[in-house]
Amino acid sequence: MSRRRFQYPGEICRPEETIIEEPIHRPFEAVPAISVDLAAVLELEKVVRPMKAPAQPTKGTVPPTVVPVLVQEIKNKLYRNIDFSTAVGVVDYPLGLRDMGIVADAMTVLAVGGGFTYKMNSPANDATTAAVGLQETEFEIEEVYVTGLGAGTGRIRVMWNPDLIRIKP
């Protein structure tokens, strides 16, 4: 053991000399093995219950305190081609994605017929003029509203992943 003396700022507050004994550290010295009493551990297990992992939520049910995080998207995409009239009398005609239970994450215009415009998710949104090959990939598309510009038939392909869990606010 070594002895170390502590210094004090002055004679007024200096108590009797304080000496603390500290063990001397010797590098590469063998450390004594710790013995564990197995009976004591088994008795402790009876008193302390082991922690259980929280139950995983099932598809479609998520507790309100849990924020879902998509780690890796499952590659199980489905698609549907939807044909519709592009006649001039067609105004804000819904294509029926909601009725089919589809929430698309991508949409591609395959044919424009006589021409049309579309609005995504609400007829109050701004219209986009359709062109063959035009894609929408940055939205969750719950519905598409079509307004015809001329006689013909248009075609839109919507793609979605049925394995994604969506939480409604």
The gap between the terminal CA atoms of the chain, to the nearest Å, is: 67
Q: How confident is the model at residue 77 (pLDDT cuts 50, 70, 90)?
A: confident
Q: How confident is the model at residue 28 (pLDDT cuts 50, 70, 90)?
A: low
| 78-160: in CATH 2.60.120 | yes
Mean pLDDT of the chain: 79
- Cα–Cα distance for residue pair 96/99, rounded to 1 Å: 5
Domain definitions of the chain by residue range: 2-47, 78-160
Residue with tokens 């004090």: 8
Q: What is the pLDDT of residues 33-44, one digit of tens each?
A: 777 777 877 787
Tokens of 128: 């986009």
pLDDT of the residue at 44: 77
pLDDT of the residue at 147: 95
* Least confident interval from 31-45, 105-119, 148-162: 31-45
pLDDT of the residue at 24: 67
Q: What is the DSSP string of 103-123?
A: -BSEEEEEE-TT-EEEEES-T
Please give the average per-residue pLDDT across 69-73, as a whole number: 63
Q: What is the pLDDT of residues 89-102, one digit of tens each?
A: 899 999 999 999 89
What SS3 class is residue 42?
A: helix
Q: Is the pTM of this model over 0.85?
A: no
